[in-house]
Structure 1
Amino acid sequence: MSVPEVIPIGHEPDYRTSTIGRWQGGQFFASVTSTLPEGPLGDDWQSQKRWCAVLHRFDGAGRHLDSRIQFTGTTADGERKVIAAALQLLDAWLDALPERAYEDIAIAPFAVRFEGALFGLVLEGREEGGEEDSVWAEFYPDGLGFSPPWDGQYDT
């Protein structure tokens, strides 16, 4: 099964895709997520685990328009505190989207970098014998994997 031009992502209330949907200008994927630098972390990993509020916006056809990403602190700063700050920021960004509705979306692969971390929906794997059966789409840094039958369901 070939990779679709836009990858369906199912809306799941009260779970990992609870803050995705459509708005007057197209579609959106919002989350509070964390990043870690690549490579060994050492004993001070808490100071390297960075929490962010993230809002990706797409046009109606699923093409990436822009990404708003803001760092709110590290786990060492107090995980509950920095997650609460990110959620508050995310709520404000979402409230500013006119005609916002939480529902399924379908978006094209894209990638952006923020402070060295990868954010986006990136195709991974490789084609085998002309088949795309070992290709999947990974949503970074949230860790959501999408694959055939491309029905909006994901693995973590």
Structure 2
Amino acid sequence: MHRTDEIVIDFADGSRLRRPERDELTWAAQERVSAEHPWLCVLRGDQLYIQAYRHGPEAWQVEHRFGSSDGHHQAVGHQTWAVTEQLLWGWTAVEPGWQGLVEWQKLDFPARQVPVAHEPHARTRWIGTHEDGQFFGDVTGASGLACTMALLHRFDPEGNHLGTDFRPTADVDTAERELAQLLDGLRGVTYGSIRIRPFAVDAHGLRWGLIDGTAERDGLEHYELMPQQLGFGEPFNGLYCT
């Protein structure tokens, strides 16, 4: 399958090549990648790419990414130019089996700290910091729940999820009182904007958390607070969409 219509190649020297044929890709890599400008990146969308870094004439580091950091892989060891060229073109033209040319290892990256803006009269009014970290409180009757839920997600100062307290209730007024009690259990509460990392918790028959939905949006980075369905994405100003 030969599909290069959406392909763009960016080079370290600042140049760009669109919709390359194989000989164009090979020639451009040989001409434009050097010790001074040692890399190229072949893109099909912001989070769909393969890239190669030249450590020497026959020592190339190759990585490819699909959708998000969870889909970022690096070829084990340095590759010759011949193998690197096959990988670059195999990815570009969507040739079957191109990944099988080498062994790959998944690279782990720290998850993004997603900003969440404090809006006193909106769904993010019960968020902020306390002496031991950050918190996100909410009252929700999300689809799939047989109750009105009061909940409090707790995070460390770096935004890593520490735990969630759930309080099933019969109505909104009761849930808000339960949430107030949960918040009273935190020391030094200050309401304000927070920055938290993606996480997931399965409870009460649903998945709760800040879920990375980038892969489902063709590489457009996006996170969804579930099951409330509050979306956070570009320009990552902390505001949500529903």
Partner Cα separation in structure 2 for residue 120 and residue 15 of structure 1: 18
| CA displacement at 1:151 relative to structure 2 | 1.3
Is residue 85 from structure 1 mapped to residue 174 from structure 2 by the alignment?
Answer: yes
**C-alpha distance after superposition, 1:74-114 (max 9, x if no partner):** xxxxxxxx111110010111122100000000000001011
Moved over 2 A (4+): 1-4
Q: Which runs of 5+ in 2 are unaligned?
A: 1-45, 48-67, 69-110
* Matched letter for residue 150 of structure 1: F
**C-alpha distance after superposition, 1:103-145 (max 9, x if no partner):** 00000000101111111100114274xxx32x31000122210
SS at match of 1:55: strand
The equivalent of 1:116 in structure 2 is 205
**C-alpha distance after superposition, 1:16-45 (max 9, x if no partner):** 1010000001000000012333xxxxxxxx
The aligned length equals 134
- Report matched runs for 1:119-138 at 5 Å: 119-126=208-215, 128=218, 132-133=219-220, 135-138=221-224
Q: Which runs of 5+ in 1 are unaligned?
A: 38-47, 74-81
The equivalent of 2:156 in structure 1 is 59
User: 1:25 aligned to 132, 137, 140, which one?
Assistant: 132
Between structure 1 and structure 2, the one with the greater Rg is 2
More helix by share: 2
More strand by share: 1
Deviates more, 1:52-61 or 1:108-117: 108-117
RMSD after superposition: 1.8
* Matched letter for residue 235 of structure 2: P
- Report matched runs for 1:95-114 at 5 Å: 95-114=184-203
Give the TM-score of the pair, scaled to structure 1.
0.79
| CA displacement at 1:49 relative to structure 2 | 4.0
The answer to whether the 8 A contact 1:136-1:148 is kept is yes
Partner Cα separation in structure 1 for residue 143 and residue 231 of structure 2: 18
SS at match of 1:61: coil
The answer to whether the 8 A contact 1:35-1:117 is kept is no
Partner Cα separation in structure 1 for residue 179 and residue 202 of structure 2: 19
SS at match of 1:86: helix
Deviates more, 1:99-108 or 1:49-58: 49-58
* Matched letter for residue 119 of structure 2: E
Is residue 7 from structure 1 mapped to residue 114 from structure 2 by the alignment?
Answer: yes
